[in-house]
Amino acid sequence: MIKDPYVYEGTDVLINKLNIRDSEKLDRAESDFASLAISQLRNEDFKIDSIFDLLEIHRRLFSALYDWAGKPRTINIYKAEPLLGGKSIDYVFASYIDTALKELQKEFATTDWGSLNPSEKIEKVCYFVSEFWHIHPFREGNTRTSAMALYFLIKKAGLHVNIGFLSRNGKFFRNALVLSCLYSSSKTGYLLGIVTDSVTLKNEISGKYETIEGTEVKKYSYSHHTTNKLETIKKPADWK
């Protein structure tokens, strides 16, 4: 097992500024600080003009706890996904993160949002959020950063997203991101569906998001990333 410089030795608890050594207490602190930062970002009408602005979102969400907030991870990480039978998404190798972000920025910079109709705008936002999440730049906090990126990108596209709806269906949203990152086997319809509904306010009360791929969403439980190498979805050969 590769030594993880982000955690206290012998634990899976992230080293933090408050020296919290209990994972549940740290999770609560993360949630509290992130919620406050999210409110501040929304009140400031934060804008995304570059993919690299998403690193600033992460910094704002987690800088109260982690010295590495907003900084790309330095190690390769894995996470067993129930929907993948315990396999991990093949996140970008740490050494390739900067290159991957720059390549995504090239696409972002050439996007003409004004030329797109609402459906095309939603598809484009889903694409950028999914690609960013697949890169997984940070040791932790990638999904919350991606959710806020989606919120601000939808606003950039001239639409409105019901962030409360997404929050209530957060487990579905995260698993939809997982399924959108399977290369030739990607299932992007789940992510596109929930984002479209969050914009149009459809299916807010229905049970549409109680299951995903036949799995009850409420049974999903979060687990931390690890440096333990797991079996992954095959990656492109140039991710070195």
CA–CA dist 223, 88 (Å, integer) = 12
The whole-number pLDDT of residue 134 equals 97
How do residues 154-172 score in pLDDT, each as one tens digit?
999 999 988 889 889 999 9
pTM passes above 0.85: yes
- Which fold would CATH assign to domain 23-219? Fic-like fold (1.10.3290)
The whole-number pLDDT of residue 100 equals 98
Q: Where are the domains of the chain?
A: 23-219
Query: Among 166, 143, 151, 131, which residue's Cα sits nearest to residue 46?
Result: 151
CA–CA dist 4, 1 (Å, integer) = 9
